[in-house]
Amino acid sequence: MSSDIIKDVRSLLEFHGKPKKEVYLDSENSGLIFPEALEALIEAYKNTGYGHPSITHKIGWESYEKLYESSSILANVLNCNLEEIVYTHNGTEANNLAILGLAESYKERKKILVSSIEHLSVIFPADYLQKYGYKVIKIPVDKEGFVNIDFINENIDKNTLLVSIAAVNHEIGTIQDLKTIVDVIKDKDSEIFVHTDACDALGKIKMDLRKLNIDLASFSSHKVYGPKGAGALYVKEGIKLEPIIYGQLSTQRLWPSLENIPSIIGFSKAIEILNSNFEYYTLKMINLRDMLIKNIIEEIEYVLLNGPEGNKRSPDNANLSFLYCEGEALTVELSLNGIYVSSGSACTSRVLEPSHVLLAIGRKYEEAHGSLLMKVTPFHNEEDIEYVIEKMPGIISRIRSISPIKPGGEKNV
């Protein structure tokens, strides 16, 4: 981070100003938090939960008790044991621990399958293992993002260590039939491990780890409207993982150093709220999501929906490609109107590369470049979505008016 960039950012903020109305639809990257989860985090720092849970004094014991209570909430919602939960600081760390830690423990098998639309925190550690002799196979998906189960069945064998498929895709919201996928894999070879990146599934669909018979699952606090700085990996009892970082141990062997107890307390509070209001929040988000998608497609020409429709799509996800537009230009123009979204893949937008997820479902480069990812939350209401619907046509029209390509393939001059 340089001082020159800070000057530029400050100039941008001064020019931007504060719009009269703001609608934040970028919870994929970072976002809003339940007030009760924030209060729980602050309470931990102020009173109970700020100590080191492994130190033998009152403050440490209080933190240990809070950690236990938080783990009990998470285990109850996921239907697993407390001992099967390993805390990390985010979903990326959990995904890395699952893949690299498993490979370090079970070296006899050298093949890994991941879906071609996985989060980069799954794809990158899997690809990294290729330098140690692992063969990594990317599972193809159809135009809605559903993995090809026949391909999985044909490509797993006695050399396969792991299959990793996200329960809900972070970018286009595809809800995979995870139970069928796990059954197909286990029926062929029960010794193949199955991991799911469930960061976008928790709180959006019901997750019962016992019924799914999943081996490893990753979770992130900020994806459930909890504080940043907390994540978790479920490791089924009996599975051996090796640590991938080393240092002073606290309460857990697989992720050394001090647990972020205040954030974990906020994480569990957010899960508790979501679980207690699951039907209400999911139905609310579905209605807002469909209202947003339907009206934009009806009001604006040359718009494509990325991912499936209806109950096969995550309740919060709206991903649309606006043809003849450049996504980054759209995010800036929307921001000036108080609407905050991300373009393409949220995690690759800064390098201006088209989303690998959108390319995998068959979108052309120009279609992927013109995409916007918007996520509704329990905090939004119809007035927020109406504001976006009202502003969007004019914004799209302006960006298209300055685009070098216009409908029909002609160039703007």
Q: State residue 15's pLDDT score.
A: 83
Q: State residue 345's pLDDT score.
A: 46
User: Per the structure block, which two tokens stand in for 136?
Assistant: 């990594």
Three-state SS for the chain is CCHHHHHHHHHHHHHHCCCCCCEECCCCCCCCCCHHHHHHHHHHHHCCCCCCCCCCCHHHHHHHHHHHHHHHHHHHHHCCCHHHEEEECCHHHHHHHHHHHHHHHCCCCCEEEEECCCCHHHHHHHHHHHHHCCEEEEECECCCCCECHHHHHHHCCCCEEEEECCCECCCCCEECCHHHHHHHHHHHCCCCEEEEECCCCECCECCCHHHHCCCEEEEECHHHCCCCCCEEEEECCCCCCCCCCCCCCCCCCCCCCCCCHHHHHHHHHHHHHHHHCHHHHHHHHHHHHHHHHHHHHHHCCCEEECCCCHHHECCCEEEEEECCCCHHHHHHHHHHCCEECEECCCCCHHHCCCCHHHHHCCCCHHHHHCEEEEECCCCCCHHHHHHHHHHHHHHHHHHHHCCCECCCCCECC
Low-confidence ranges of the chain (pLDDT < 50): 345-349
pLDDT > 90: percent of the chain: 85
Q: State residue 346's pLDDT score.
A: 46
User: Per the structure block, which two tokens stand in for 317?
Assistant: 């996800």
Length of the chain: 413
Q: State residue 351's pLDDT score.
A: 58
Q: State residue 101's pLDDT score.
A: 98
Q: CA 211, CA 180: separation in Å to the nearest integer?
A: 11
Q: CA 233, CA 246: separation in Å to the nearest integer?
A: 17
Q: Is 400 exposed, middle or buried (0-12, 13-18, 19+ CB in 10 A)?
A: buried
Q: What is the pTM of this model?
A: 0.94
Q: Are the C-beta atoms of 373 and 171 separated by less than 8 Å?
A: yes
Q: Annotated catalytic residue: which of 80, 199, 325, 347? A: 347
Q: State residue 164's pLDDT score.
A: 98
Q: State residue 8's pLDDT score.
A: 83
Q: State residue 162's pLDDT score.
A: 98
Dump pLDDT digits (tens) for 270-312: 999 999 999 999 999 999 999 999 999 999 999 999 999 999 9
Tell me if residue 347 is catalytic. yes
